[in-house]
């Protein structure tokens, strides 16, 4: 029976999740979850470890969708060109039942010169086989999507891995600019680090590269109006519309900001910042900004503002002819809903 080793990849994923205490050969490793970047990196780590052990190792890869018993035997048997092999089988959810049974047999009795990596992209399909493999005690690496409040740490880890650093504000601005796709964030960090003389990724640098992104402009409008800076909010709004930002992104950002204030205002006392941040759906450092904004609001104001934003959202989706007028009216109404 294979030895068990489980773990959640999460934001602290590191190549050492693929246990280095023994050879990668004679092992079956299941990599599961929808986060493709982390899954690809985990596969890459197994391959790199194998090449460290044997530079002549043969690497084979196949999709379970096109895998039959004959092909499986070819991929897992001894190679004509090398005594050792790493075989990666992708799309495990699509494996045929007889091939799945054979894989479970390889989990129970691993071949000494084979490192077998099975990649499952998440979902219910194929879970029976995953449970069967787990019963054999296989190693498992879970590549689950990161929560929103985990993303700044992911960005920080990416910068650190390249020998650089990024402060929390710059990390969050990058996420607001690029979005939550890990591969896009990793590529953005690589670009920013490569163009940084000091290795430090700053807010100014992120703005210079990504300041025109729609998400940044939308959140700039939101932060200004929620803090009571109406004139600045209107300037940001007009710039957003001039540069082609979709109006629905602005109403979405306004609604999200107001809901965050409402959650902070109604949260129970005694909660740790980390727990409150999870409830609100923001990174812990963002709470300071939201608390500052919340000082100008009460529950009735938030409710009225949300109604105004909902009306504007309907307008920009077709209920009104002039989206710009609808958004300007919404920003002014939201501003008037503040206490001060």
Most distant CA atoms of the chain, gap in Å: 78
pLDDT at res. 214: 57
Comparing 1 with 167, the larger pLDDT belongs to 167
Q: What is the mean pLDDT of residues 90-104?
A: 94
Tell me the pLDDT tens digit for each residue of 205-239: 888 777 666 555 788 889 889 999 999 899 888 88
Tell me the pLDDT tens digit for each residue of 187-210: 889 888 888 888 899 988 888 777
- For the chain, give the percent of residues with pLDDT over 90: 47
pLDDT at res. 19: 54
pLDDT at res. 29: 94
Comparing 110 with 9, the larger pLDDT belongs to 110
Q: How confident is the model at residue 291 (pLDDT cuts 50, 70, 90)?
A: confident
pLDDT at res. 249: 84
- In the CATH scheme, what is the code of domain 5-142? 3.40.50.300
Comparing 227 with 12, the larger pLDDT belongs to 227
- Alpha-helical (H) ranges within 198-246 are 203-210, 214-226, 230-242
In this predicted structure, the answer to whether residue 87 has a pLDDT above a threshold of 90 is yes
Instruction: For domain 214-336, give the fold.
Output: Zinc Finger, Delta Prime; domain 3 (1.20.272)
Q: How confident is the model at residue 3 (pLDDT cuts 50, 70, 90)?
A: very low
For residues 148-186, one letter each, b for 16 or more C-beta atoms within 10 angstroms of the residue's C-beta and e for the rest, the string is: bbebbbbbbbbbeebebbbbbebbbbbbbbbeeebeebb
In this predicted structure, the answer to whether residue 15 has a pLDDT above a threshold of 70 is no
Residue 53, Cα to own-chain centre: how many angstroms? 32
pLDDT at res. 149: 86
pTM above 0.95, yes or no: no
* Token duo for residue 220: 């700039």
* Token duo for residue 288: 């300071």
CATH classification (class only), 148-210: mainly alpha
- CA-angle at 64, arms to 58 and 66, nearest 5°: 95
**Among 50-54, 213-217, 272-276, which is the least confidently predicted range?**
213-217
pLDDT at res. 5: 40
Cβ-count burial of 242 within 10 angstroms (0-12 exposed, 13-18 middle, 19+ buried)?
Answer: exposed
Whether the CB-CB separation of 115 and 46 falls below 8 Å is answered with yes
- Domain boundaries for CATH 1.20.272.10 within the chain: 214-336
pLDDT at res. 21: 59
Tell me the pLDDT tens digit for each residue of 147-161: 888 899 999 999 999
Q: How confident is the model at residue 276 (pLDDT cuts 50, 70, 90)?
A: confident
Summary mean pLDDT of the chain: 85
What is the per-residue DSSP string for 85-132? EEEEEE-GGG--HHHHHHHHHHHHS--TTEEEEEEE-SSSTTHHHHHH
Q: What is the mean pLDDT of residues 294-314?
A: 93
**Among 17-21, 147-151, 174-178, 282-286, which is the least confidently predicted range?**
17-21
- Domain boundaries for CATH 1.10.8.60 within the chain: 148-210
In this predicted structure, the answer to whether residue 107 has a pLDDT above a threshold of 90 is yes
Question: φ and ψ at 117, to 5 degrees?
Answer: -115, 120
In this predicted structure, the answer to whether residue 78 has a pLDDT above a threshold of 80 is no
Q: How confident is the model at residue 2 (pLDDT cuts 50, 70, 90)?
A: very low
Q: What is the mean pLDDT of residues 275-295?
A: 81
Highest mean pLDDT among 33-37, 79-83, 179-183: 33-37
- Domain boundaries for CATH 3.40.50.300 within the chain: 5-142
């Amino acid at each position: 029976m294979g030895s068990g080793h489980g773990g959640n990849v999460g934001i602290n994923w590191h190549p050492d999740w693929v246990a280095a205490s023994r050879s990668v050969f004679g092992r079956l490793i299941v990599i599961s979850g929808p986060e493709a970047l982390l899954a690809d990196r985990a596969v890459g780590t197994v391959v790199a470890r194998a090449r460290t052990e044997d530079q002549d190792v043969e690497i084979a890869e196949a999709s379970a969708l096109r895998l039959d018993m004959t092909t499986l035997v070819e991929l897992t048997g001894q190679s004509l060109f090398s005594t050792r092999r790493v075989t990666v089988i992708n799309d495990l959810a699509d494996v045929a039942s007889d091939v799945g049974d054979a894989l479970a047999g390889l989990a129970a009795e691993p071949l000494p010169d084979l490192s077998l990596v099975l990649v499952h992209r998440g979902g219910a399909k194929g879970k029976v086989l995953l449970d069967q493999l787990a019963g054999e005690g296989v190693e498992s690496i879970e590549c689950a999507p990161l929560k929103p409040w985990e993303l700044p740490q992911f960005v920080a880890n990416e910068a650190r891995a390249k020998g650089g650093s990024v402060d929390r504000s710059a990390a969050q601005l990058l996420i607001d600019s690029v979005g939550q796709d890990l591969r896009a964030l990793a590529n953005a960090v690589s670009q920013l680090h490569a163009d940084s003389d000091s290795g430090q990724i700053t807010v100014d640098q992120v703005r210079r590269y990504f300041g025109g992104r729609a998400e940044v402009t939308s959140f700039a409008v939101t932060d200004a109006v929620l803090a009571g800076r109406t004139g600045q909010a209107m300037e940001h709004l007009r710039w957003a519309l001039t540069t082609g930002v979709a109006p629905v992104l602005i109403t979405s950002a306004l609604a999200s900001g107001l809901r965050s204030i409402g959650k902070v205002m109604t949260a129970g006392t005694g909660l740790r910042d980390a727990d409150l941040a999870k409830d609100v759906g923001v990174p812990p450092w963002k709470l300071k900004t939201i608390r500052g904004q919340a000082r100008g609001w009460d529950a009735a104001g938030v409710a009225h503002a949300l109604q105004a934003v909902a009306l504007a959202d309907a307008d920009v989706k077709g209920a009104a002819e002039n989206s710009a007028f609808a958004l300007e009216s919404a920003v002014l109404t939201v501003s008037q809903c503040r206490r001060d």
